[in-house]
Structure 1
Amino acid sequence: MKNYKEEILRLKKEKNAAILAHYYVRDEIQELADYVGDSYYLSKIGLELDCEIIVFCGVSFMAECAKILSPNKKVLLPNTEAKCSMAKLASQKDVISMKKKHKNAKVVSYVNSLTEVKAVSDACCTSSNAYNVIKNIDANEIIFIPDKHLGNHVQEKFPDKKLILWDGSCDVHDNISAKDILNYKEKFNSKLIVLVHPECKKEVRKLANFIGSTGQIIDYIRKCDSKDFLVITEDGILYELKNRYPNKRFHSLNIICNPMKCITLKDLYNSLLLEKNEIVLEESLRVAANKSLLNMLELATR
Protein backbone atom coordinates (compact mmCIF):
# COMPACT_ATOMS: atom_id res chain seq x y z
CA MET A 1 0.00 0.00 0.00
CA LYS A 2 1.36 3.41 -0.99
CA ASN A 3 2.53 5.67 1.83
CA TYR A 4 0.71 8.79 0.75
CA LYS A 5 2.18 10.99 3.47
CA GLU A 6 5.78 10.24 2.49
CA GLU A 7 5.02 10.63 -1.20
CA ILE A 8 3.21 13.93 -0.69
CA LEU A 9 6.14 15.35 1.28
CA ARG A 10 8.59 14.16 -1.40
CA LEU A 11 6.55 15.62 -4.26
CA LYS A 12 6.00 18.87 -2.42
CA LYS A 13 9.74 19.39 -2.04
CA GLU A 14 10.50 18.20 -5.57
CA LYS A 15 7.97 20.54 -7.20
CA ASN A 16 8.45 23.57 -4.92
CA ALA A 17 4.83 23.33 -3.86
CA ALA A 18 3.00 24.60 -0.79
CA ILE A 19 -0.05 22.94 0.73
CA LEU A 20 -2.69 25.28 2.15
CA ALA A 21 -5.56 23.87 4.18
CA HIS A 22 -8.69 25.28 5.78
CA TYR A 23 -9.55 24.34 9.36
CA TYR A 24 -12.55 22.33 8.13
CA VAL A 25 -10.69 19.72 6.07
CA ARG A 26 -9.77 16.26 7.38
CA ASP A 27 -7.29 15.99 10.25
CA GLU A 28 -4.70 14.12 8.19
CA ILE A 29 -4.75 16.87 5.56
CA GLN A 30 -4.26 19.59 8.17
CA GLU A 31 -1.38 17.58 9.62
CA LEU A 32 0.48 17.62 6.28
CA ALA A 33 -0.29 21.21 5.30
CA ASP A 34 2.33 23.94 5.33
CA TYR A 35 -0.28 26.49 6.35
CA VAL A 36 -3.64 25.96 8.04
CA GLY A 37 -6.05 28.80 8.65
CA ASP A 38 -9.29 30.60 7.90
CA SER A 39 -10.13 32.16 4.54
CA TYR A 40 -8.59 35.55 5.32
CA TYR A 41 -5.31 34.13 6.59
CA LEU A 42 -4.98 31.77 3.65
CA SER A 43 -5.71 34.50 1.09
CA LYS A 44 -2.85 36.58 2.51
CA ILE A 45 -0.45 33.65 2.78
CA GLY A 46 -1.05 32.55 -0.81
CA LEU A 47 -0.12 36.03 -2.01
CA GLU A 48 3.13 36.06 -0.03
CA LEU A 49 4.40 32.55 -0.77
CA ASP A 50 7.54 32.00 -2.83
CA CYS A 51 6.55 28.74 -4.50
CA GLU A 52 5.62 27.50 -7.95
CA ILE A 53 2.55 25.46 -7.00
CA ILE A 54 -0.18 25.98 -4.41
CA VAL A 55 -2.26 22.93 -3.57
CA PHE A 56 -5.38 24.30 -1.92
CA CYS A 57 -7.17 21.91 0.40
CA GLY A 58 -10.48 23.66 0.82
CA VAL A 59 -13.49 24.39 -1.34
CA SER A 60 -13.22 25.71 -4.89
CA PHE A 61 -13.82 29.41 -4.19
CA MET A 62 -10.78 29.38 -1.89
CA ALA A 63 -8.56 27.91 -4.59
CA GLU A 64 -9.94 30.46 -7.04
CA CYS A 65 -9.08 33.28 -4.62
CA ALA A 66 -5.51 32.00 -4.47
CA LYS A 67 -5.32 32.02 -8.27
CA ILE A 68 -6.88 35.47 -8.52
CA LEU A 69 -4.28 36.91 -6.15
CA SER A 70 -1.34 34.84 -7.45
CA PRO A 71 -1.80 34.47 -11.23
CA ASN A 72 1.80 33.38 -11.80
CA LYS A 73 1.47 30.37 -9.51
CA LYS A 74 -0.12 27.09 -10.53
CA VAL A 75 -3.06 26.49 -8.16
CA LEU A 76 -4.43 22.97 -7.76
CA LEU A 77 -7.67 21.80 -6.13
CA PRO A 78 -7.24 18.14 -5.07
CA ASN A 79 -10.92 17.24 -5.50
CA THR A 80 -13.23 19.13 -7.85
CA GLU A 81 -16.26 18.00 -5.83
CA ALA A 82 -15.15 20.35 -3.03
CA LYS A 83 -17.66 23.09 -3.79
CA CYS A 84 -19.33 25.46 -1.33
CA SER A 85 -23.10 25.33 -1.73
CA MET A 86 -23.48 28.94 -0.58
CA ALA A 87 -21.12 30.25 -3.26
CA LYS A 88 -23.59 29.18 -5.94
CA LEU A 89 -26.56 31.03 -4.43
CA ALA A 90 -25.86 34.38 -6.10
CA SER A 91 -24.83 34.91 -9.72
CA GLN A 92 -23.15 37.81 -11.47
CA LYS A 93 -26.51 38.57 -13.10
CA ASP A 94 -28.12 38.78 -9.62
CA VAL A 95 -25.54 41.31 -8.48
CA ILE A 96 -25.88 43.46 -11.58
CA SER A 97 -29.67 43.46 -11.13
CA MET A 98 -29.34 44.57 -7.50
CA LYS A 99 -26.90 47.32 -8.45
CA LYS A 100 -29.47 48.70 -10.90
CA LYS A 101 -32.08 48.84 -8.12
CA HIS A 102 -29.68 50.43 -5.61
CA LYS A 103 -27.59 52.81 -7.70
CA ASN A 104 -25.82 54.47 -4.76
CA ALA A 105 -24.89 51.22 -3.06
CA LYS A 106 -21.52 49.51 -3.11
CA VAL A 107 -21.26 45.74 -3.30
CA VAL A 108 -19.40 43.70 -0.70
CA SER A 109 -19.29 40.02 -1.48
CA TYR A 110 -18.37 37.41 1.08
CA VAL A 111 -15.42 35.41 -0.27
CA ASN A 112 -17.78 32.41 -0.25
CA SER A 113 -18.95 33.50 -3.68
CA LEU A 114 -18.28 32.89 -7.36
CA THR A 115 -15.35 34.58 -9.09
CA GLU A 116 -17.93 36.14 -11.45
CA VAL A 117 -19.61 37.77 -8.42
CA LYS A 118 -16.31 39.08 -7.07
CA ALA A 119 -15.65 40.60 -10.50
CA VAL A 120 -18.65 42.94 -10.16
CA SER A 121 -18.13 43.70 -6.46
CA ASP A 122 -16.46 46.73 -4.94
CA ALA A 123 -14.82 44.68 -2.22
CA CYS A 124 -14.85 41.23 -0.69
CA CYS A 125 -14.82 40.23 2.95
CA THR A 126 -14.33 37.17 5.13
CA SER A 127 -16.00 36.36 8.42
CA SER A 128 -12.88 37.62 10.22
CA ASN A 129 -12.60 41.00 8.49
CA ALA A 130 -16.24 41.83 7.64
CA TYR A 131 -16.43 44.43 10.44
CA ASN A 132 -13.45 46.36 9.15
CA VAL A 133 -14.47 46.15 5.50
CA ILE A 134 -17.99 47.44 6.21
CA LYS A 135 -16.69 50.07 8.61
CA ASN A 136 -14.08 51.42 6.20
CA ILE A 137 -15.79 51.16 2.82
CA ASP A 138 -16.88 54.57 1.57
CA ALA A 139 -20.62 53.90 1.41
CA ASN A 140 -23.64 54.12 3.68
CA GLU A 141 -25.67 51.72 1.56
CA ILE A 142 -24.10 48.32 0.94
CA ILE A 143 -25.31 45.30 -1.01
CA PHE A 144 -24.03 42.32 0.98
CA ILE A 145 -23.87 38.98 -0.85
CA PRO A 146 -24.57 36.09 -0.30
CA ASP A 147 -24.72 35.28 3.46
CA LYS A 148 -27.69 36.92 5.18
CA HIS A 149 -26.63 35.75 8.65
CA LEU A 150 -23.15 37.25 8.47
CA GLY A 151 -24.68 40.35 6.92
CA ASN A 152 -27.24 40.63 9.69
CA HIS A 153 -24.53 40.17 12.31
CA VAL A 154 -22.44 42.98 10.81
CA GLN A 155 -25.51 45.22 10.38
CA GLU A 156 -26.10 45.03 14.14
CA LYS A 157 -22.66 46.54 14.70
CA PHE A 158 -23.16 49.38 12.22
CA PRO A 159 -26.74 50.71 12.57
CA ASP A 160 -25.80 53.90 10.68
CA LYS A 161 -25.13 51.88 7.54
CA LYS A 162 -27.81 50.12 5.53
CA LEU A 163 -26.96 46.60 4.42
CA ILE A 164 -29.11 45.15 1.65
CA LEU A 165 -28.90 41.42 2.26
CA TRP A 166 -29.09 38.59 -0.25
CA ASP A 167 -31.19 35.67 0.96
CA GLY A 168 -28.38 33.12 1.15
CA SER A 169 -26.81 31.05 3.90
CA CYS A 170 -24.44 28.19 4.64
CA ASP A 171 -26.62 25.08 4.85
CA VAL A 172 -24.26 23.57 7.45
CA HIS A 173 -24.34 26.52 9.88
CA ASP A 174 -27.96 27.39 9.07
CA ASN A 175 -29.04 23.94 10.23
CA ILE A 176 -28.01 24.67 13.83
CA SER A 177 -30.77 25.84 16.18
CA ALA A 178 -30.83 27.50 19.59
CA LYS A 179 -32.57 24.38 20.89
CA ASP A 180 -29.57 22.25 19.84
CA ILE A 181 -27.29 24.34 22.04
CA LEU A 182 -29.64 24.55 25.01
CA ASN A 183 -30.26 20.80 24.95
CA TYR A 184 -26.54 20.05 24.78
CA LYS A 185 -25.72 22.34 27.70
CA GLU A 186 -28.56 20.90 29.76
CA LYS A 187 -27.36 17.35 29.10
CA PHE A 188 -23.60 17.82 29.53
CA ASN A 189 -22.57 21.09 31.17
CA SER A 190 -24.62 24.24 31.68
CA LYS A 191 -21.46 26.33 32.19
CA LEU A 192 -19.90 25.65 28.79
CA ILE A 193 -18.51 28.72 27.04
CA VAL A 194 -20.36 28.90 23.72
CA LEU A 195 -18.35 29.98 20.67
CA VAL A 196 -20.36 30.64 17.51
CA HIS A 197 -19.48 31.27 13.87
CA PRO A 198 -21.29 34.34 12.43
CA GLU A 199 -22.78 32.24 9.61
CA CYS A 200 -25.21 30.92 12.23
CA LYS A 201 -28.76 32.21 12.70
CA LYS A 202 -29.48 35.09 15.06
CA GLU A 203 -31.17 32.78 17.59
CA VAL A 204 -27.90 30.85 17.83
CA ARG A 205 -25.70 33.94 17.96
CA LYS A 206 -27.78 35.24 20.87
CA LEU A 207 -26.60 32.29 22.98
CA ALA A 208 -22.92 32.90 22.26
CA ASN A 209 -20.29 34.03 24.71
CA PHE A 210 -18.23 34.91 21.65
CA ILE A 211 -18.98 35.22 17.92
CA GLY A 212 -16.16 35.00 15.41
CA SER A 213 -14.44 33.33 12.49
CA THR A 214 -12.52 30.11 13.00
CA GLY A 215 -9.29 32.05 13.47
CA GLN A 216 -10.93 34.44 15.93
CA ILE A 217 -12.43 31.53 17.89
CA ILE A 218 -8.99 29.96 18.22
CA ASP A 219 -7.53 33.26 19.42
CA TYR A 220 -10.39 33.83 21.89
CA ILE A 221 -9.74 30.45 23.53
CA ARG A 222 -6.07 31.36 23.93
CA LYS A 223 -7.01 34.41 26.01
CA CYS A 224 -9.87 32.77 27.92
CA ASP A 225 -9.33 31.30 31.40
CA SER A 226 -12.19 28.82 31.05
CA LYS A 227 -11.44 25.16 30.35
CA ASP A 228 -14.68 23.96 28.73
CA PHE A 229 -16.02 25.16 25.39
CA LEU A 230 -18.91 24.33 23.08
CA VAL A 231 -17.67 25.13 19.57
CA ILE A 232 -20.48 25.92 17.14
CA THR A 233 -18.86 25.57 13.76
CA GLU A 234 -17.60 22.75 11.53
CA ASP A 235 -15.88 19.98 13.49
CA GLY A 236 -12.62 20.19 11.54
CA ILE A 237 -11.55 23.05 13.79
CA LEU A 238 -11.30 20.62 16.72
CA TYR A 239 -8.04 19.17 15.34
CA GLU A 240 -6.31 22.54 15.69
CA LEU A 241 -7.94 23.30 19.04
CA LYS A 242 -6.95 20.01 20.66
CA ASN A 243 -3.38 20.28 19.40
CA ARG A 244 -2.99 23.90 20.42
CA TYR A 245 -4.77 23.71 23.78
CA PRO A 246 -4.31 20.17 25.16
CA ASN A 247 -5.37 21.23 28.66
CA LYS A 248 -8.77 22.51 27.55
CA ARG A 249 -11.88 20.51 26.70
CA PHE A 250 -13.89 21.00 23.52
CA HIS A 251 -17.47 19.97 22.85
CA SER A 252 -19.27 20.04 19.52
CA LEU A 253 -22.60 19.26 17.88
CA ASN A 254 -21.00 17.02 15.23
CA ILE A 255 -21.28 19.64 12.50
CA ILE A 256 -19.84 18.36 9.21
CA CYS A 257 -19.28 20.09 5.86
CA ASN A 258 -19.14 17.24 3.34
CA PRO A 259 -17.47 19.25 0.54
CA MET A 260 -14.60 20.13 2.90
CA LYS A 261 -14.27 16.52 4.01
CA CYS A 262 -14.22 15.07 0.49
CA ILE A 263 -10.52 15.83 0.00
CA THR A 264 -8.46 12.75 0.91
CA LEU A 265 -4.73 12.01 1.11
CA LYS A 266 -5.06 10.11 -2.16
CA ASP A 267 -6.61 13.19 -3.80
CA LEU A 268 -3.79 15.35 -2.49
CA TYR A 269 -1.17 12.88 -3.72
CA ASN A 270 -2.69 12.56 -7.20
CA SER A 271 -3.10 16.31 -7.51
CA LEU A 272 0.59 16.85 -6.74
CA LEU A 273 1.83 13.93 -8.81
CA LEU A 274 -0.16 14.74 -11.95
CA GLU A 275 -0.62 18.47 -11.31
CA LYS A 276 -4.30 17.88 -12.00
CA ASN A 277 -7.38 20.01 -11.37
CA GLU A 278 -5.55 23.25 -12.04
CA ILE A 279 -7.57 26.41 -11.47
CA VAL A 280 -7.85 28.30 -14.76
CA LEU A 281 -9.60 31.67 -14.94
CA GLU A 282 -10.27 34.01 -17.84
CA GLU A 283 -7.78 36.86 -17.41
CA SER A 284 -10.28 39.73 -17.68
CA LEU A 285 -12.44 38.04 -15.05
CA ARG A 286 -9.44 37.42 -12.80
CA VAL A 287 -8.30 41.05 -13.05
CA ALA A 288 -11.77 42.34 -12.15
CA ALA A 289 -12.09 39.95 -9.19
CA ASN A 290 -8.56 40.81 -8.09
CA LYS A 291 -9.60 44.42 -7.53
CA SER A 292 -12.29 43.44 -5.04
CA LEU A 293 -9.94 41.08 -3.18
CA LEU A 294 -7.17 43.69 -3.00
CA ASN A 295 -9.75 46.22 -1.78
CA MET A 296 -10.63 43.73 0.96
CA LEU A 297 -7.01 43.44 2.05
CA GLU A 298 -6.66 47.23 2.11
CA LEU A 299 -9.95 47.94 3.91
CA ALA A 300 -9.35 45.19 6.45
CA THR A 301 -6.08 46.72 7.64
CA ARG A 302 -6.95 50.41 7.37
Structure 2
Amino acid sequence: MALVTTKEMFRKAYEGGYAVGAFNVNNMEIVQGIVDAAKEVRSPLILQVSAGARKYAKPAYLKKLVEAAIIDSDLDIALHLDHGDSFEICKQCIDDGFTSVMIDGSHLPYEENIALVKQVVEYAHARGVVVEAELGKLAGVEDEVNVKAEDATYTDPKQAVDFVKRSGCDSLAIAIGTSHGAYKFKGEPKLDFERLETITKLLPDYPLVLHGASTVIPEFVEMCNAYGGDIPGAQGVPEEMLRRAGSLGVCKINIDTDLRLAMTAAIRKYLHDFPAEFDPRKYLGVGRDAIRSMVRHKLVDVLGSDGKM
Protein backbone atom coordinates (compact mmCIF):
# COMPACT_ATOMS: atom_id res chain seq x y z
CA MET A 1 0.00 0.00 0.00
CA ALA A 2 1.10 3.62 -0.12
CA LEU A 3 0.81 7.25 0.87
CA VAL A 4 -2.30 8.54 -0.90
CA THR A 5 -4.25 11.76 -1.24
CA THR A 6 -7.69 12.17 0.32
CA LYS A 7 -9.58 12.52 -2.98
CA GLU A 8 -10.81 8.92 -3.23
CA MET A 9 -11.30 8.67 0.55
CA PHE A 10 -13.58 11.71 0.52
CA ARG A 11 -15.52 10.61 -2.55
CA LYS A 12 -16.38 7.30 -0.89
CA ALA A 13 -17.14 8.98 2.45
CA TYR A 14 -19.48 11.51 0.87
CA GLU A 15 -21.36 8.85 -1.05
CA GLY A 16 -21.48 6.56 1.99
CA GLY A 17 -22.53 9.19 4.51
CA TYR A 18 -19.62 8.66 6.89
CA ALA A 19 -16.46 10.59 7.81
CA VAL A 20 -12.76 9.73 7.70
CA GLY A 21 -10.85 10.24 10.93
CA ALA A 22 -7.88 12.61 10.85
CA PHE A 23 -5.70 11.96 13.87
CA ASN A 24 -2.81 14.13 15.02
CA VAL A 25 0.48 12.33 15.60
CA ASN A 26 3.47 13.33 17.72
CA ASN A 27 5.48 10.18 18.45
CA MET A 28 5.84 6.48 17.68
CA GLU A 29 3.36 5.20 20.26
CA ILE A 30 0.61 7.52 19.05
CA VAL A 31 1.18 6.49 15.43
CA GLN A 32 1.16 2.81 16.36
CA GLY A 33 -1.99 3.04 18.47
CA ILE A 34 -3.95 4.82 15.72
CA VAL A 35 -2.74 2.64 12.88
CA ASP A 36 -3.26 -0.63 14.78
CA ALA A 37 -6.90 0.35 15.34
CA ALA A 38 -7.42 1.25 11.68
CA LYS A 39 -5.77 -1.99 10.56
CA GLU A 40 -8.00 -4.02 12.87
CA VAL A 41 -11.24 -2.58 11.46
CA ARG A 42 -9.96 -1.87 7.90
CA SER A 43 -10.66 1.84 7.97
CA PRO A 44 -9.35 4.62 5.74
CA LEU A 45 -7.02 6.86 7.70
CA ILE A 46 -5.50 10.33 7.73
CA LEU A 47 -2.48 10.98 9.92
CA GLN A 48 -1.85 14.67 10.38
CA VAL A 49 1.05 16.71 11.65
CA SER A 50 0.70 20.11 13.29
CA ALA A 51 3.29 22.86 13.62
CA GLY A 52 3.77 21.80 17.25
CA ALA A 53 4.40 18.20 16.23
CA ARG A 54 6.97 19.30 13.65
CA LYS A 55 8.85 21.24 16.32
CA TYR A 56 8.65 18.42 18.87
CA ALA A 57 9.44 15.32 16.80
CA LYS A 58 11.08 16.84 13.69
CA PRO A 59 9.57 16.35 10.21
CA ALA A 60 11.94 13.60 9.07
CA TYR A 61 11.10 11.38 12.05
CA LEU A 62 7.35 11.82 11.60
CA LYS A 63 7.49 11.07 7.88
CA LYS A 64 9.48 7.88 8.46
CA LEU A 65 7.10 6.78 11.23
CA VAL A 66 4.18 7.08 8.83
CA GLU A 67 6.08 5.21 6.11
CA ALA A 68 6.79 2.43 8.63
CA ALA A 69 3.10 2.36 9.57
CA ILE A 70 2.14 1.77 5.93
CA ILE A 71 4.57 -1.14 5.67
CA ASP A 72 3.40 -2.65 8.96
CA SER A 73 -0.35 -2.20 8.41
CA ASP A 74 -0.77 -2.67 4.65
CA LEU A 75 -3.09 0.35 4.67
CA ASP A 76 -3.33 3.33 2.35
CA ILE A 77 -2.72 6.40 4.53
CA ALA A 78 -2.93 10.11 3.77
CA LEU A 79 -0.23 12.28 5.38
CA HIS A 80 -1.64 15.73 6.07
CA LEU A 81 -0.26 19.03 7.33
CA ASP A 82 -2.63 20.44 9.94
CA HIS A 83 -2.97 24.24 10.22
CA GLY A 84 -0.12 25.33 8.01
CA ASP A 85 0.06 29.09 8.45
CA SER A 86 2.21 30.10 5.47
CA PHE A 87 2.97 29.19 1.88
CA GLU A 88 6.52 28.31 2.93
CA ILE A 89 5.54 25.59 5.44
CA CYS A 90 3.04 24.11 2.97
CA LYS A 91 5.69 24.09 0.24
CA GLN A 92 8.17 22.38 2.55
CA CYS A 93 5.68 19.65 3.48
CA ILE A 94 4.71 19.12 -0.16
CA ASP A 95 8.37 18.83 -1.10
CA ASP A 96 8.88 16.41 1.81
CA GLY A 97 6.23 14.04 0.45
CA PHE A 98 3.03 14.99 2.25
CA THR A 99 -0.03 14.07 0.20
CA SER A 100 -2.32 16.74 1.67
CA VAL A 101 -1.79 20.15 3.26
CA MET A 102 -3.99 22.61 5.07
CA ILE A 103 -3.30 26.27 4.56
CA ASP A 104 -5.05 28.16 7.34
CA GLY A 105 -5.60 31.76 6.34
CA SER A 106 -8.73 32.11 8.46
CA HIS A 107 -7.04 34.84 10.53
CA LEU A 108 -6.56 36.97 7.41
CA PRO A 109 -9.00 39.32 5.69
CA TYR A 110 -11.21 37.43 3.21
CA GLU A 111 -9.42 38.44 0.00
CA GLU A 112 -5.99 37.75 1.51
CA ASN A 113 -7.18 34.31 2.63
CA ILE A 114 -8.28 33.51 -0.92
CA ALA A 115 -5.01 34.74 -2.40
CA LEU A 116 -2.92 32.66 0.02
CA VAL A 117 -4.97 29.50 -0.55
CA LYS A 118 -4.79 29.98 -4.32
CA GLN A 119 -1.00 30.27 -4.13
CA VAL A 120 -0.75 26.99 -2.20
CA VAL A 121 -3.27 25.28 -4.50
CA GLU A 122 -1.28 26.16 -7.61
CA TYR A 123 1.93 24.74 -6.13
CA ALA A 124 0.26 21.65 -4.63
CA HIS A 125 -1.89 20.64 -7.60
CA ALA A 126 1.11 20.78 -9.93
CA ARG A 127 2.64 18.09 -7.71
CA GLY A 128 -0.44 15.91 -7.17
CA VAL A 129 -1.13 17.14 -3.64
CA VAL A 130 -4.55 18.20 -2.34
CA VAL A 131 -5.30 21.31 -0.29
CA GLU A 132 -7.63 22.00 2.63
CA ALA A 133 -8.50 25.57 3.57
CA GLU A 134 -10.53 27.18 6.35
CA LEU A 135 -13.27 29.79 6.30
CA GLY A 136 -14.53 31.07 9.62
CA LYS A 137 -12.67 30.95 12.93
CA LEU A 138 -12.85 28.26 15.62
CA ALA A 139 -12.31 29.32 19.21
CA GLY A 140 -9.92 27.51 21.53
CA VAL A 141 -6.28 26.56 21.90
CA GLU A 142 -4.37 23.76 20.16
CA ASP A 143 -0.62 23.93 19.50
CA GLU A 144 -0.05 27.16 17.54
CA VAL A 145 -3.78 27.92 17.17
CA ASN A 146 -5.16 30.30 19.80
CA VAL A 147 -8.46 32.10 19.17
CA LYS A 148 -10.50 33.81 21.87
CA ALA A 149 -14.21 33.00 22.02
CA GLU A 150 -15.18 36.56 21.19
CA ASP A 151 -13.07 36.39 18.02
CA ALA A 152 -14.67 33.18 16.70
CA THR A 153 -16.86 33.48 13.60
CA TYR A 154 -19.16 30.99 11.91
CA THR A 155 -18.76 30.19 8.21
CA ASP A 156 -21.04 32.16 5.91
CA PRO A 157 -22.63 29.67 3.45
CA LYS A 158 -22.75 31.95 0.41
CA GLN A 159 -19.22 33.15 1.08
CA ALA A 160 -18.11 29.51 1.24
CA VAL A 161 -19.27 28.97 -2.34
CA ASP A 162 -17.34 32.00 -3.58
CA PHE A 163 -14.29 30.97 -1.55
CA VAL A 164 -14.14 27.44 -2.94
CA LYS A 165 -14.68 28.60 -6.51
CA ARG A 166 -12.04 31.31 -6.43
CA SER A 167 -9.38 29.57 -4.33
CA GLY A 168 -9.62 26.09 -5.88
CA CYS A 169 -9.23 24.31 -2.54
CA ASP A 170 -10.12 20.60 -2.50
CA SER A 171 -11.85 20.60 0.90
CA LEU A 172 -13.04 23.27 3.30
CA ALA A 173 -12.89 23.39 7.10
CA ILE A 174 -15.99 25.18 8.35
CA ALA A 175 -16.93 26.75 11.66
CA ILE A 176 -20.32 25.68 13.01
CA GLY A 177 -19.67 25.69 16.76
CA THR A 178 -16.82 23.28 17.46
CA SER A 179 -13.61 24.57 19.07
CA HIS A 180 -10.06 23.47 19.73
CA GLY A 181 -8.92 22.01 23.04
CA ALA A 182 -10.68 20.29 25.93
CA TYR A 183 -13.08 23.09 26.87
CA LYS A 184 -15.40 23.31 23.88
CA PHE A 185 -18.66 24.31 25.58
CA LYS A 186 -19.48 26.15 28.78
CA GLY A 187 -23.12 25.13 28.71
CA GLU A 188 -25.12 22.71 26.60
CA PRO A 189 -23.19 21.50 23.52
CA LYS A 190 -24.68 22.87 20.31
CA LEU A 191 -23.66 22.82 16.66
CA ASP A 192 -25.32 24.85 13.91
CA PHE A 193 -26.62 22.00 11.76
CA GLU A 194 -28.89 24.32 9.82
CA ARG A 195 -25.79 26.20 8.66
CA LEU A 196 -24.07 22.92 7.80
CA GLU A 197 -27.06 21.73 5.76
CA THR A 198 -27.14 25.03 3.87
CA ILE A 199 -23.43 24.83 3.03
CA THR A 200 -23.85 21.21 1.89
CA LYS A 201 -26.74 22.15 -0.41
CA LEU A 202 -24.78 25.06 -1.90
CA LEU A 203 -21.66 22.91 -2.36
CA PRO A 204 -23.04 19.51 -3.46
CA ASP A 205 -20.60 16.59 -3.54
CA TYR A 206 -17.95 18.78 -1.95
CA PRO A 207 -16.01 17.49 1.11
CA LEU A 208 -16.31 19.57 4.27
CA VAL A 209 -14.04 19.29 7.31
CA LEU A 210 -14.78 19.60 11.01
CA HIS A 211 -11.95 20.78 13.25
CA GLY A 212 -12.05 20.77 17.05
CA ALA A 213 -14.18 17.63 17.04
CA SER A 214 -12.84 15.60 19.95
CA THR A 215 -15.50 14.22 22.25
CA VAL A 216 -13.37 14.84 25.36
CA ILE A 217 -14.44 11.42 26.61
CA PRO A 218 -15.53 11.77 30.27
CA GLU A 219 -13.90 8.45 31.23
CA PHE A 220 -10.46 9.82 30.43
CA VAL A 221 -11.08 13.21 32.01
CA GLU A 222 -12.19 11.48 35.22
CA MET A 223 -9.19 9.15 35.17
CA CYS A 224 -6.78 12.05 34.67
CA ASN A 225 -8.30 13.93 37.58
CA ALA A 226 -8.40 10.84 39.79
CA TYR A 227 -4.66 10.31 39.41
CA GLY A 228 -3.31 13.80 39.92
CA GLY A 229 -4.66 15.72 36.93
CA ASP A 230 -6.38 19.09 37.06
CA ILE A 231 -8.78 19.47 34.13
CA PRO A 232 -12.22 20.11 35.68
CA GLY A 233 -15.14 21.08 33.49
CA ALA A 234 -13.69 19.76 30.23
CA GLN A 235 -16.41 19.12 27.67
CA GLY A 236 -16.34 18.07 24.03
CA VAL A 237 -18.60 17.40 21.04
CA PRO A 238 -21.17 14.65 21.74
CA GLU A 239 -20.70 11.60 19.55
CA GLU A 240 -24.22 11.71 18.13
CA MET A 241 -23.48 15.19 16.75
CA LEU A 242 -20.38 13.92 14.99
CA ARG A 243 -22.33 11.03 13.48
CA ARG A 244 -24.93 13.49 12.18
CA ALA A 245 -22.25 15.76 10.72
CA GLY A 246 -20.78 12.78 8.86
CA SER A 247 -24.14 12.22 7.16
CA LEU A 248 -24.34 15.85 6.03
CA GLY A 249 -21.27 16.27 3.86
CA VAL A 250 -18.54 16.34 6.52
CA CYS A 251 -15.96 13.89 5.13
CA LYS A 252 -13.07 14.58 7.52
CA ILE A 253 -13.28 14.89 11.29
CA ASN A 254 -10.18 16.01 13.20
CA ILE A 255 -9.32 14.34 16.51
CA ASP A 256 -6.41 15.38 18.71
CA THR A 257 -7.49 16.19 22.27
CA ASP A 258 -9.02 12.73 22.76
CA LEU A 259 -5.67 11.16 21.87
CA ARG A 260 -3.88 13.30 24.43
CA LEU A 261 -6.43 12.55 27.13
CA ALA A 262 -6.45 8.79 26.49
CA MET A 263 -2.67 8.50 26.64
CA THR A 264 -2.26 10.82 29.63
CA ALA A 265 -5.01 9.14 31.64
CA ALA A 266 -3.57 5.66 31.07
CA ILE A 267 -0.04 6.75 31.94
CA ARG A 268 -1.13 8.61 35.08
CA LYS A 269 -2.97 5.55 36.33
CA TYR A 270 -0.07 3.21 35.52
CA LEU A 271 2.49 5.35 37.35
CA HIS A 272 0.17 5.61 40.33
CA ASP A 273 -0.39 1.86 40.44
CA PHE A 274 3.29 1.01 39.87
CA PRO A 275 5.29 3.80 41.58
CA ALA A 276 8.54 1.84 41.39
CA GLU A 277 8.35 1.44 37.61
CA PHE A 278 10.65 3.62 35.50
CA ASP A 279 10.81 1.75 32.19
CA PRO A 280 9.29 4.11 29.56
CA ARG A 281 8.26 1.11 27.45
CA LYS A 282 5.87 0.03 30.19
CA TYR A 283 3.93 3.25 30.66
CA LEU A 284 4.16 4.35 27.03
CA GLY A 285 2.91 0.91 26.02
CA VAL A 286 -0.12 1.35 28.26
CA GLY A 287 -0.73 4.75 26.67
CA ARG A 288 -0.47 3.21 23.20
CA ASP A 289 -3.06 0.58 24.11
CA ALA A 290 -5.43 3.27 25.38
CA ILE A 291 -5.13 5.15 22.09
CA ARG A 292 -5.73 1.99 20.06
CA SER A 293 -8.91 1.19 21.98
CA MET A 294 -10.21 4.76 21.82
CA VAL A 295 -9.48 5.15 18.09
CA ARG A 296 -11.17 1.83 17.32
CA HIS A 297 -14.28 3.12 19.10
CA LYS A 298 -14.15 6.33 17.06
CA LEU A 299 -13.79 4.52 13.74
CA VAL A 300 -16.56 2.02 14.39
CA ASP A 301 -19.09 3.76 16.61
CA VAL A 302 -18.67 7.44 15.74
CA LEU A 303 -17.26 7.89 12.23
CA GLY A 304 -18.68 4.72 10.68
CA SER A 305 -15.56 4.25 8.54
CA ASP A 306 -14.84 0.64 9.55
CA GLY A 307 -14.71 -1.84 6.68
CA LYS A 308 -14.39 0.94 4.11
CA MET A 309 -10.73 0.31 3.20
TM-score normalised by the chain length of structure 2: 0.31
TM-score normalised by the chain length of structure 1: 0.31
